Amino acid sequence: MRSLFIAFLILLSTTAFGEMSNNRLRVLLNICDAAQKSADLGTVRNIASQIQGVNTPENKQLADRFNKCIHMAFGETEKKPDVNELVKTIEKIYSKLEEDCRILLRTAPEVAIVHPICKPVITSP
């Protein structure tokens, strides 16, 4: 009950929009830790919903507590891939595929022309 009261006070506190301060994050994680120990899933979810949009802290201990709170509240979370890295990977794989299809075209043109993957790669402008 005390954890819930503290969480309510924190909710009402006036903070600037944007990045959450480290002190506030520490307080929220302390509340989440206490709520986990007392099996107060409502408070855990409340705190987790407050920190959900915040970037994972750089401090390893804080990051572990942060992830544990989020995981306890919402289960396994899927980390979104970095779009730039994903595009680079796709381009790299496509270049390798294009190269292999061109080798296949030189080696066995009759196979390359009808192959369902290589045909569009070879015939594209």
Are 62 and 20 contacting, i.e. CB atoms less than 8 angstroms apart? Answer: no
Rounded distance between C-alpha atoms, residue 12 and residue 51, angstroms: 15
pLDDT of residue 20: 74
pLDDT of residue 47: 94
Kindly report whether the global pTM for this prediction surpasses the value 0.75: no
Residue the block writes with tokens 């043109």: 109
The per-residue pLDDT for range 71-120, each reduced to its tens digit, is 999 887 667 778 899 999 999 999 999 999 999 999 999 999 999 999 99
pLDDT bin (cut points 50, 70, 90) of residue 32 is: very high
Rounded distance between C-alpha atoms, residue 54 and residue 31, angstroms: 16
